[in-house]
Amino acid sequence: MVRTFIREKKIFCGDHYREVDIFGYTTAQKNAAARGKRSKKVQESEPKQKNLNDKNARRYFVQLGNLNFGDDPEALHVTATYSAKHLPRTVEAAEKEVSNYLRRVAYKAACRAIKAAGYATDPQYADKLIQIVENYSLTAYDGAGSATAPAGRPGASGGSNDTGGAGSPADGKGTGKMNASEFIKKLQDVVNNHATLYVMGCFGAPLTGANVSRYCGNHSYNKKADRTAMIRAAANKKPPVFGFDCVCLPA
């Protein structure tokens, strides 16, 4: 005999908004749910399942909107403004301040995006990368340099140990040096559009040209026959494969 149960599901979005679902399910469905995770999908979802997924996604968006915006005490949305004492004199001045603020915090979102893309296995990777940026005040280089490599210097497809940025500044103040935002953008581009390989002591260099022999011999780990073979197999691909170690930044 098939038994049917009635289940109630409540979704609270703060104190002022709540959704309630009441639905029935059978003994067979209950037992199937108790077996654990469902098997990996091997074929495309049916149209009716796609429609249901779309409906649920839209509903979730509404729930997020009700939780994060409005007058609810638990709302997470914050509207920043100025006190009368610090109010900018012009709209242009206010826009400049907002732009500068967003530029200063953008690196945090970029670091978390790199982690979300699936490259790093350390759950604290994004926080550690952000800590490095802050400890060494790397945002001070924002706006001071250019990502354009000077004449005669190889870029991302050449043999130097860089990711396409310019050389070190002569005055130590960032002139001609890739700024932090450009560096993070290049890392994100590598994650999204290039294959990567674990290479000890490599922090985002393309495995092309002289970099290949360099990283086959720069560390005892890379000198192992299996690791050397992997580096050479990834060498001089188009587009290039990029090498990273678990830190991704020079010490």
| pLDDT tens column, 146-157 | 444 333 333 333
Give the distance from CA 224 to its chain's centroid: 31
Cα distance from N-terminal residue to C-terminal residue, the chain: 67
- Axis-axis angle for helices 180-193, 91-116 (nearest 10): 40
Q: Which residues contact 183 (CB under 8 A, 6 or more apart)?
A: 163, 165
Determine the Cα–Cα distance for residues 221 and 215; give it in Å rounded to an integer: 10
- CB contact at 8 A, 233 and 195: no
Percent of the chain with pLDDT over 90: 11
Place 141 in a pLDDT band, splitting at 50, 70 and 90.
low
Highest mean pLDDT among 76-90, 106-120, 122-136, 236-250: 122-136
Which two structure tokens, joined as six digits, stand for 37?
């995770």
Give the per-residue pLDDT at 114: 77
Strand partners, 19: 11
For 2-39, what is each residue's pLDDT tens digit? 677 788 888 887 777 788 888 787 877 777 766 666 66
CA dist 27 and 30 (Å) reads: 5
Evaluate if residue 120 carries a pLDDT over 80: no
Q: What is the mean pLDDT of residues 91-120?
A: 81
Q: Report CA-CA distances (Å) from 192 to 12, 198, 248.
A: 36, 16, 16
Q: How far apart are CA 251 and CA 244, in angstroms?
A: 13
Q: What is the mean pLDDT of residues 114-120?
A: 73
Confidence (pLDDT) at 146? 41
Q: In what order do the strands lie in the sheet with 196-198?
A: 196-198, 242-244, 203-206
* Cα–Cα distance measured from residue 202 to residue 197, given in angstroms and rounded to the nearest whole number: 10
**Residue among 248, 240, 212, 210 nearest 227 (CA):** 212
Q: How far apart are CA 207 and CA 196, in angstroms?
A: 9
Name the average pLDDT for the chain: 74
Tens digit of pLDDT for each residue in 95-105? 888 888 887 77
Q: Tell me the one-letter amino acid at 23.
A: F
- Per-residue model confidence (pLDDT) at position 13: 77
216 vs 29, more confident: 216
Q: What is the pLDDT of residue 228?
A: 94
- Partners of 4 in the beta sheet? 26
pLDDT at 247: 61
Using pLDDT thresholds of 50, 70 and 90, give the confidence band for residue 249.
Answer: very low
Helices (H) and strands (E) in the chain, counts: 8, 5
- Contact (Cβ atoms closer than 8 angstroms) between residue 156 and residue 182: no
Per the model's pLDDT, the better-predicted residue between 139 and 234 turns out to be: 234
CA 65 to the chain's CA centroid: 23
Q: pLDDT for 38-93, tens place per residue?
A: 666 666 668 888 888 888 888 888 887 777 776 666 666 666 778 888 888 898 98
Per-residue pLDDT at 233 exceeds 80: yes
The yes-or-no verdict on residue 164 having pLDDT over 70 is no
Residue 181 to residue 202: CA distance in whole angstroms:
20
